[in-house]
Amino acid sequence: MINEIKKDAKQRMDKSLESLQHAFGQIRTGKAHPSILGSVMVPYYGVDTPLSGVANVTVKDNQTLQVVAFERNMLGAIDKAIGSAGLNLNPTNLGELLLITMAPLTEETRKGFTKQARAAAEDARVAVRNIRRDAMDKLKKLSKGKEISEDEERRASAEIDKLIKDAEGQITKATDEKEKDLMAV
């Protein structure tokens, strides 16, 4: 039972960290990266489809993304979807492909994106703390129900606290790396 609680807590923490990395991928840095377009949905025969399902996105150079549609007739829809995705990106349609030039970030924009990254990190920390609380509640119920001893509860609590500390360390490290990347000119 204790192992199941620890395993569940670990899996949920890993998912929180994955979610944080996904959120960081959506925050634009000054460099071109395909993950920036990860949230773009393109209408494909009446169904909203992720951009990766209808086109190949590659990095042409440090400041430019290149989008090549699997079907040429989809280029207009992809162009419109990227323009309306709220990413402040304006693709250039070259007939066979789209080029998306990333404008250099201003100091103000960098600070705004840094705040966004910190908010995502705080959300991840809250999620990890909630996971800890849930695991501790389960351990207390087992202890009160005399299914485990108080010593086992204390040991398991210490192990869960160690998992939490590790997860929070990873969140801090990832946030510091993202902030460093955002503030690099």
State the pLDDT confidence band at 125, using cuts at 50, 70 and 90: very high
Span 2-28, average pLDDT = 89
Quick one: pLDDT at residue 185?
A: 63
Quick one: pLDDT at residue 19?
A: 92
Q: Which of 95, 84, 55, 85 is nearest to 71 (CA)?
A: 55
Domains within the chain, CATH numbers bracketed: 2-26+106-183 (1.10.132.20), 34-101 (3.30.1360.40)
Quick one: pLDDT at residue 84?
A: 86
Percent of the chain with pLDDT over 70: 99
Please tell me which residue, 64 or 184, carries the higher pLDDT value: 64
Residue 66 has pLDDT above 70, yes or no: yes
Span 55-59, average pLDDT = 91
Q: Can you read off the two tokens belonging to residue 58? A: 């590659």
Residue 37 has pLDDT above 70, yes or no: yes
What's the CA gap between 122 and 166, in Å, rounded? 15
State the pLDDT confidence band at 184, using cuts at 50, 70 and 90: confident
Percent of the chain with pLDDT over 90: 44
Residue 90 has pLDDT above 90, yes or no: no
What's the CA gap between 26 and 136, in Å, rounded? 33
What's the CA gap between 121 and 127, in Å, rounded? 10
User: Is residue 164 within 8 Å of residue 129, measured between CB atoms?
Assistant: yes
Span 59-74, average pLDDT = 89
pTM: predicted TM-score of the whole model, two decimal places: 0.72
The SS3 assignment for 84 reads: coil
